[in-house]
Amino acid sequence: MTDFTPLGRMLHEEHIRTLALMNALDTRTTGGPGKRPIDPADTDDRQLLEETVAAIDEEVNRHFGFEEAVLFPLIADRGAGDMTRLLAQEHAAITPLGRRLSEVVVKALESGFDGPGWSEFREVAQELVDRVTFHLQKEEMGIIQRLPLFFAPATDRRLADQYAEHRTG
């Protein structure tokens, strides 16, 4: 098991929660379960939809925002600009997918899925699952595991405190 820095632990835990949701979306939209539209009247299905909207808001607005405004510039200054540019480009591709999926989900929470709505949900969810999963693997290997190389412990702790404030603010 990896010993994470304080900031690394916070980001890693968010990544794990996001990956768990991506797995749940993947499971529910492919294979046998994917043939049956999600039913917002079903408690488990509704919970998945609500968690999806909340997670997209968390990931796109808070997590990506902190990485792009604070973390990536500092890491780029320490010689990993190519990595941070690639990750920021992926954020730019993931963000509109997340927003679109949220829109589809909010509509479905109000009125359920019709045939075209379910198809759109599945299509956008699968693209989001693929992109986010691959993206998080890169962040884990390229950033989280390397935080001790980028920052002294005191700087990492300060960034963790700053991120904690950013998440609640």
Whether 167 maps to a domain, the answer reads no
User: Which contacts qualify for 11-19: CB closer than 8 Å, 24 or more apart?
Assistant: 11/63, 11/139, 11/143, 11/144, 11/163, 12/140, 12/144, 14/58, 14/59, 14/63, 15/136, 15/139, 15/140, 15/144, 17/55, 18/55, 18/59, 18/132, 18/136, 19/132, 19/133, 19/136
Whether 55 maps to a domain, the answer reads yes
Whether 138 maps to a domain, the answer reads yes
Question: Considering the entire predicted model, what is its pTM?
Answer: 0.91
Number of domains in the chain: 1
CATH number at residue 93: 1.20.120.520
pLDDT at 2: 66
Tokens 């200054």: give the residue. 77
Whether 32 maps to a domain, the answer reads yes
Whether 50 maps to a domain, the answer reads yes
pLDDT at 1: 45
pLDDT at 97: 95
pLDDT at 168: 80
For 148, the domain range is 6-162
Single-letter amino acid code for the residue at 109: L
Residues of the chain scoring pLDDT < 50: 1
Whether 168 maps to a domain, the answer reads no
Whether 49 maps to a domain, the answer reads yes
Whether 39 maps to a domain, the answer reads yes
